[in-house]
Amino acid sequence: MKVLVIYNIDHTWDTSEIHDTRNSNRILAEALADEGLETYLEELSDPHLDRILEGHSPEETIIFNLCEALPGIPYSEKKVTEILSCRGFTFTGNGPEVIDLSYDKQKTKERLVNLGIRVPDGAVLTPEEADTWTLFPAIVKPSREHCSLTITDKSVVFDTDSLREQILLVNNELNQPAMVEDFIDGREFHVSVWNNGPPEILPVAEMDFSAFTEPGERLCTYDSKFMPGSEHYEKIETLIPAPLDEQLYKRLEEKVLAAWQGFGCFDYARFDLRLRDDKFYLLDVNPNNDISFDTSFAMAAEMNDYSYSRMVKRIVMMAAERHPLFGAGN
């Protein structure tokens, strides 16, 4: 069995972002090789994924899919998985239907509500509709993105004028509608789940915002994830396992498993929740979430005695179970 690790870069990114992406994917490929897997690493810098796939046989290759887009084509993470499926490849992570749903925040909310899971009140609003929103503080976020793009401490707003300004920012910078939500000022948990059979919840991570006093500062911004040296990157602590009593954990577990099953997730995903007034709110569903060596997912796996190399190998073996030749019983 061969493993082909594929990831994307975009030449519109800044130099440090390209460097960090290449470095984290190199580390992942080296970790797989350390586990004895014949591993190849390919970078996609243009939309022509077939160029990379040529020379690799679906019969003997598992694709470790880390592509978040076809470079130059917005919202094309789903398209990557469709191409892989069309070419007959077995790949890690979730498929096109789950990815497509997760990118549409309004449909995600509707699915979660139908599953009986509490979500923050929210709506997709235009700048002209800002006057209709009365629930403050509110948070303004992109309606079709992951990775906290445009999310800063200014994303939490306390009046209509600031709300309108942030809606315009999302519209102009990302050329997409803005989602406005009730800002849940409370504890935040990132819950990593994996497996093909019965889903397994890894130790829960809590984002510790105790270094911040203002409500608008107590959130995971873009800087907190991708900008070492920034205040949010340096001061937000990750607590694993999260200090949760048994009753709270059981309630969290129930909601996360219902979301995993209701979305049809497999291999791995992360669910972000907040707790306010003893009520959990599910903020986001992240299929094919970041599994770099320094993420909460990797930290949670390590708490369960999975080194980074063992963790990524297990993800490969989950995909291998779906392979027509490598799967169970073959």
User: 205 and 143, same structural domain?
Assistant: no
- 325 part of a folded domain: no
User: 141 and 109, same structural domain?
Assistant: no
User: 106 and 242, same structural domain?
Assistant: yes
User: 153 and 13, same structural domain?
Assistant: no
| Overall domain count for the chain | 3
**What tokens does 32 get?**
């797989």
Between residues 147 and 217, the one the model is more confident about: 217
**What tokens does 248 get?**
């709270």
User: 171 and 218, same structural domain?
Assistant: no
pLDDT per position as a tens digit, 160-175: 999 999 999 999 999 9
pLDDT per position as a tens digit, 29-88: 999 999 999 999 999 999 999 999 998 999 999 999 999 999 999 889 999 999 999 999
Residue 109 belongs to domain spanning: 100-118+185-313
Assess whether pLDDT exceeds 70 at residue 234: yes
Assess whether pLDDT exceeds 70 at residue 330: no
* DSSP codes joined into one string, 172-207: HHHSS-EEEEE---SEEEEEEEEESSS-EEPPPEEE
> Nearest Cα to 273, choosing from 313, 242, 235?
242
Identify whether the C-beta of residue 50 lies closer than 8 Å to the C-beta of residue 14.
no
DSSP state of 112: H
pLDDT per position as a tens digit, 175-184: 999 999 999 9
User: 284 and 189, same structural domain?
Assistant: yes
User: 235 and 289, same structural domain?
Assistant: yes
Record the pTM.
Answer: 0.94
For the chain, the average pLDDT equals 94
Instruction: Indicate the residue type of 206.
Output: E
Residue 328: predicted pLDDT = 60
Identify whether the C-beta of residue 283 lies closer than 8 Å to the C-beta of residue 184.
yes
pLDDT per position as a tens digit, 267-288: 999 999 999 999 999 999 999 9
